[in-house]
Structure 1
Amino acid sequence: MRKYVLSIVLTLSLVVFAFGQDKRQLKGTVTDGKNPIENVSVQVEGLSQMALTDKKGKYQIEVATGDLISFSFTGLKTIRIKIEDVTRILNPVMIPDITELDEVELTLRKRLSQKDLAEDYPANKRIIKTAWGFLNTDRAAGRVQILTEDQINPANLCLLDLVRGKFPGVSVVGNCNGIGITGGAILIRGAHSINNSIAAIYDIDGQIFTDFPWWLDINNVKRVAIFGNLATTTLYGGLGASGVVVVNTVGANLKNEEFIDHARLRNNFYKNDALIREKVSNNWPVYKKDLYTSKDSEDAKTIYNKYSKTYSNAPYFILDAQSYFVKNGDSDFADKIISENFHLFDFNPVLLKALAYQYEAQGNYDMANQLYKDIFILRPNYGQSYIDIAKSYRDIGRAKQAATIFARYNYLVEVGFMELDTIGLMPMMNREFNNLLALERRAVMEMANSKKKLYLAKEEFKGTRLLFEWNDGEAEFDLQFVSPDKRYSLWKHSLADNAEQIAMEKNFGYNIKEELIDNSLPGTWQINVKYHGNKSLTPTYLKATVYYDYGQVSQRKEVKVFKLSLKDVNQELFPLTVGSKMVSR
């Protein structure tokens, strides 16, 4: 396995990534989920390359890393996918075009903590308080329309009159004279479709209401904001799919001490319908079933040698075999398997990351660290590379190096070599760095002399933190969080449901999602997943890191890795016994 001196790769020259120098053929099949689609236009945006799918839905087109490929067909939603270094096959599934989304607009800016926003709220009329925290509408992803206190006419009888005619794309049903009191509603056209007739929900001082708030006194209204795009409504889950009207009142408690329970927003009840792990194993490949039913270590080695002739070029077979022998106490043979077959992983960041995940779950942090160095070399322009190598250095007891990586990333953002993402990656990057400083301050004291640091926000969360990461940027799946009272919430990671989020991940180079659980509802949670595939018909590796007692001296973590291959079936991942309300970030 190659070894590198990381300090060399952290030079600015490696961050200036040269796109367009690796021309290659991209191919695949376009379907509607069941049948192939003919005459789909496949085009490299901004260039002249274009191809059409044939009767079998197949296409082939020349691309380069960094290209944006669009798949378009009349009546179907256009799919845009950024080409990564490993992209060779894309098999997109197109769906009817029923949704209009505002574009995400991101600008270079310094992240403000919730405490900062709370303090700025009285003076900054563009800040609105929501059920999940304060939001500066000028810095939000996508456009947020807001009506401030000086624009509110107390002569209005109710919220319908106040909103009527004030916001483009927003219509009002009913009136305030009591005649339409059962039918009053606010419709946000851009949140769902051009013909949207489903009423928005109402977030009033952090409380969620699905019925129109006739009781609201307009004289007490301080600010009103309209959330009509996916980037701003996604935290409200399916309940907010038709948009959200956010209202702050004059006498509201603006302290953001309580987290919103997203499961309760949806009123979804879990039916114990997820496939248990034992039944998932029924879908294992034959070689894996044979390994796990072998009589002893020698029998397992015989089985491995038998199948290795057939699967000599299959990295997923190697990963399965390595995992089996480590679990059964033969790490030496597992190491031999990887050593003899490392050429299948070399120079492929997706496969290297899958192997690194397995090493982490096995507690072999030194080997994982070497792999993350390799991945960093291959992907110096990915934000994920920085967070991975920093966390890996921390795992092997090199906190100073971890802090250096975080500081270097911040420096590269400041000088413009890395683009800033304040919505997804940067909050998690800051959280990791804050946690490192809080718990291992002595080990990184030398960083105090550095002039280039990450912006630090006070970490107020205490509880259990879940961090999900996946090795393939094309992976699509739904994460399901089932609470102790059997209500569930979903986080959907697919082009059909969350295209803006996936586009952001591709642009900034990360595949990571966090969930925070506080201690207000003790009990056992169940974490499930429904895998939809990754457009190349290969497995995806999902890593779940559970941080118990997060932010406290007693903090500890557990790493779990799951190979996802069974498609479109809800399946159990793991139970989690803690307290809690779910908080998406």
Structure 2
Amino acid sequence: MDLARIILKMMFVLACFQVTAQESSITISGRVTDGDRPLPNVNITVENSSVKTVSDREGKYKIMAKPYQTLLFTRMGLKTVRLILEDVSSIMNIEMYPQIQELDEVIVEKTKIKREAELQKEYQNNKNLIRTAFGIMDKDKIGYSMRVIDGNSLAAIGIDFLTALQARVPGMRVVRSPNDPTNPQVYLRGGRGISTSPPAAFEVDGTIFQGVPTFIPVQNIDRIAVIPSVGAGARYGRQASGGLIIINTKSGNALYETGTSNPFDFAKVRNNIFEPSDVHGFENTTKPQYLLDFQNSSSVKEAYAIFEKERLIRGDRFDFFLDAADFFMSRGAASKSEEIISMAKGKFSSNPNTLKAIAYWYEKNNDYGSAIDIYEEVLKKRPRHGQSFRDLANAHYTNGDFKKSLEIYSRYIVSRNLDTSVKEEEGIDAIIKTEFQNVLKSNSAEMSNTTIQTGMYDNFSGSRVLLEWNNGEAEFDLQFVNPDNRFYTWSHTYEKNSEQINLEKIKGFSSKQFMIDEMFRGVWQVNLKYFGNKSYLPTYIKATVFHNFGQENETRKSYYFKLVDKEVNQKLFSIVNNPEKEAK
């Protein structure tokens, strides 16, 4: 089938799904705390409006706002919380953190502060901008000295990029040991002796290095920012007290081992030794009393009577219905399970987050047809969310209909070409393009008259891990433990990664993919520490592991979890990252 015909057909079909986003105001309420105690006198404002309120002595607040507006929570001495509302936002419990900052020099001038999305648009053409772990910084707007150097101006001379950089940065010193010249130290703040100041720290595509990342080829450097003043310490703390060198690479996080084409393992740059005693089994998750009552019942009939009684008390919680459906399915009472799920669909039909959790339940029980029906409803309610397209396309592909899958992926890709507010390689765009190319590649024999373009991971060999969650407010740390027992943590919290969460809300997605190259063979462990979702309801996640991703012998396995216990590092699953072994 001609791909252009698929795209045109899908543009027409999905036009029927387009609905006007709900614009009426909704009531947002909750409690503001510092993690332990309530915070009174917190100013809560709807950004770019006159609507505002203040939290009371118990930290409680209530305010009217519209979906996709932004709430600002501010209080002297605390970090401002910037929260983009979603169409399901109602109860939002906020935790605020202390604002700790060392002042170097302050420049006050009347200026317009640009949003992150605006800076993203300007990044390619404005060479004064640099991407950091804290968002994009503008050399002309920060209150301290920063030099930004275009990577194209660096000559490929010397044993690493430092030789070229040193020629562009006055006062920069590179100290190399005769015994190990590939492991240098860099000093930015002057002085003749090493003891006069600490060496500079490095940040590469959002990751902090205390050593020098000499493995980066100069050809892969997009731009470099050098902050020699104590301004680096004000933003990054003591680790950058000797100054900071920020590197944006052309390939994002695709870094390589020195002198090879092998990808670089980020766990190596941290002194992170995993302690098995720090993780708990997911089977030990706290169980509600009604579930224990179900399990202690002597028959399906008795259990259902308990369900009916509890429904009068807990009927406003969708997780109660999912727990009950799981129990009856485990007892072989599929009809009761389906009856309960039908109740949940009817009662919570207006809530996309709940519908996604129900779709996960259907997928877990291999009922992809019903999952597709749910994802279609979510797409009708959220036509502006990239995740809605991706979930429906993936469900069709899992159900064996790759052509329908391509139609939906294509519809999103065509619309995405009109949107330049976010980097194409980030977030849901990267996920959809990865899966779209993989579907094309896997079914190329049946795709006559279609030219398959080169994909981002055409030459990749290894495992792909895709994590999805039903609630965009969910906060957690995802931990990967490599075969050498070292770990790398991806943080999905407002405290450490608020820009990522706001990006997800702008584009409308709640998923993240990770690629583990075949070079890192052995058993990997994946753990998760949950911090809540600003409500009293649990979060449901779906994790899919693709072994031998993109190869003829690709296999996949999905795992489903209900997140309840907070501040507990729990083991999700293990991955055997060895394509040769998996193929046997």
TM value normalised by structure 1? 0.77
Stretches of structure 2 lacking an aligned partner (at least 5 in a row): 1-8, 103-113, 139-147, 173-185, 228-237, 250-255, 580-584
Superimposed CA distance per residue, residues 313-342 of structure 1 (whole angstroms, 9 cap, x where no aligned partner) = 321110111122223333222111112342
Deviation at 1:517, TM superposition (A): 1.5
Q: Matches of 1:387 and 1:247 in 2, distance apart? A: 29
Which residue number in structure 2 is paired with residue 55 of structure 1? 57
Which residue number in structure 1 is paired with residue 44 of structure 2? 42
Q: Matches of 2:303 and 2:317 in 1, distance apart? A: 18
Deviation at 1:142, TM superposition (A): 2.5
Query: In the alignment, is the contact (CA less than 8 A) between 2:462 and 2:548 conserved in 1?
Result: yes
Q: Which of 301, 317, 326 pairs up with 1:314?
A: 317
* Secondary structure of residue in 1 paired with 2:36: coil
Which residue number in structure 2 is paired with residue 414 of structure 1? 417
Superimposed CA distance per residue, residues 54-103 of structure 1 (whole angstroms, 9 cap, x where no aligned partner) = 11111111111111111011111111111111001111100012379994
Which residue number in structure 1 is paired with residue 573 of structure 2? 574
Which residue number in structure 1 is paired with residue 528 of structure 2? 529
Superimposed CA distance per residue, residues 519-541 of structure 1 (whole angstroms, 9 cap, x where no aligned partner) = 22433222111111111121001
Deviation at 1:374, TM superposition (A): 0.4
Aligned: 1:379 with 2:393? no
The one-letter amino acid of 2:410's match is: A
Aligned: 1:261 with 2:265? yes
| Number of aligned residue pairs | 513
Aligned: 1:486 with 2:485? yes
The one-letter amino acid of 1:487's match is: R
The one-letter amino acid of 1:511's match is: S
Deviation at 1:50, TM superposition (A): 0.6
Query: In the alignment, is the contact (CA less than 8 A) between 2:464 and 2:547 conserved in 1?
Result: yes
Deviation at 1:422, TM superposition (A): 3.2
Q: Which of 131, 142, 153 pairs up with 2:136?
A: 142
Aligned: 1:14 with 2:5? no
The one-letter amino acid of 1:432's match is: E
Q: Identity rate of aligned residues, in percent?
A: 31
Q: Matches of 1:357 and 1:80 in 2, distance apart? A: 30
Which residue number in structure 2 is paired with residue 339 of structure 1? 342
Q: Which of 280, 285, 305 pairs up with 1:275?
A: 280
Superimposed CA distance per residue, residues 491-532 of structure 1 (whole angstroms, 9 cap, x where no aligned partner) = 110000001111100111011111111222433222111111
Alignment map for 1:108-147 (pairs within 5 Å): 142-143=136-137, 145-147=148-150
Q: Which of 16, 22, 25 pairs up with 1:23?
A: 25
Query: In the alignment, is the contact (CA less than 8 A) between 1:403 and 1:436 conserved in 2?
Result: yes
Q: Matches of 1:499 and 1:39 in 2, distance apart? A: 23
Task: Using the TM superposition, name which of 261-270 and 465-474 deviates more.
Answer: 261-270
Stretches of structure 1 lacking an aligned partner (at least 5 in a row): 111-123, 127-135, 193-197, 208-217, 229-237, 581-585
Q: Matches of 2:463 and 2:442 in 1, distance apart? A: 16
Which residue number in structure 2 is paired with residue 68 of structure 1? 70
Structure 1 pair 504/256, CA: closer, same or farther in 2 (3 Å)? farther
Aligned: 1:462 with 2:461? yes
Which residue number in structure 1 is paired with residue 179 of structure 2? none
Structure 1 pair 298/400, CA: closer, same or farther in 2 (3 Å)? same
Alignment map for 1:280-359 (pairs within 5 Å): 280=285, 283-359=286-362
Alignment map for 1:147-186 (pairs within 5 Å): 147-148=150-151, 150=153, 163-164=169-170, 172-175=188-191, 179-180=193-194, 183-186=197-200
Structure 1 pair 154/352, CA: closer, same or farther in 2 (3 Å)? closer
Which residue number in structure 1 is paired with residue 546 of structure 2? 547
TM value normalised by structure 2? 0.77
Q: Matches of 1:411 and 1:58 in 2, distance apart? A: 44
Q: Which of 380, 396, 399 pairs up with 2:399?
A: 396
Query: In the alignment, is the contact (CA less than 8 A) between 2:201 and 2:239 conserved in 1?
Result: no
Which residue number in structure 1 is paired with residue 556 of structure 2? 557
Which residue number in structure 1 is paired with residue 216 of structure 2? 206
Q: Matches of 1:459 and 1:154 in 2, distance apart? A: 31
Q: Matches of 1:277 and 1:522 in 2, distance apart? A: 25
Query: In the alignment, is the contact (CA less than 8 A) between 1:369 and 1:389 conserved in 2?
Result: yes
Query: In the alignment, is the contact (CA less than 8 A) between 1:463 and 1:517 conserved in 2?
Result: yes
Deviation at 1:143, TM superposition (A): 4.7
